[in-house]
Amino acid sequence: MAEMACAVCGERFEEDDLLFSDKGRICEHCEMDLKEQSTLNRGVWFTVINGPITALAGSVMACVPVVGPFLMLVMGAIALWRGTVALQVAWYGRHDAALESGQKAALWLGGLVTCIWAVGLVMGGGVGAVITLWMSLHG
């Protein structure tokens, strides 16, 4: 059989041992590396967008009558937790070569924006919940 070089690492393998991919014919080791990097990328971007989407949902909850402030408080707390997770990933991954600089910046920015937004939701939801309880008991 003829030997071919892996399109990623350049090592030579039997033609039957190479796999087809978007990068060309690659070896099994390189395929595993590409899959791991792809999984890491999906996880990082999910962590980046997860907090702001939760905070946005909490902001929309302010429009719900009666239970809106309570839902806003809960969603704000969840968003705060998710924002701190993004900041933790950014902090512990700051020296990780697997994370690209754009991913690190997105984690820092997304985490900070989410935490600030979530603190506002928690404060607004807490005040709104107290006012709603006060009005329901004394109104």
Residue 13: phi and psi, rounded to 5, are -140, 165
- 97 is a domain residue: yes
Chain length of the chain:
139
The structure tokens 């006012």 sit at: 131
The predicted-structure confidence for 59-113, as pLDDT tens digits, reads as follows: 999 888 889 999 999 999 999 999 999 999 999 988 887 788 899 999 999 999 9
Range of the domain at 123: 43-138
- Return the pLDDT at 1: 63
Q: What are the DSSP E strand ranges found in 3-52?
A: 3-5, 12-14, 19-21, 24-26
- Return the pLDDT at 85: 95
Q: What integer best gives the mean pLDDT of the chain? A: 90
Total structural domains within the chain: 1
- Return the pLDDT at 107: 94
Residue 41: phi and psi, rounded to 5, are -60, -45
On whether the CB atoms of residues 111 and 90 are closer than 8 A, the answer is: yes
The structure tokens 């590396």 sit at: 33
- 3 is a domain residue: no
- Return the pLDDT at 52: 96
Structure token digits, residue 97: 């070569």
| pTM, 2 dp | 0.77
Which residues have a Cβ under 8 Å from the Cβ of 83 and sit 6 or more positions away? 51, 55, 110, 111, 112, 113, 114, 115, 117, 118
- 18 is a domain residue: no
- 86 is a domain residue: yes
- 50 is a domain residue: yes
| Percentage, residues of the chain above pLDDT 90 | 50
- 83 is a domain residue: yes
- Return the pLDDT at 56: 96
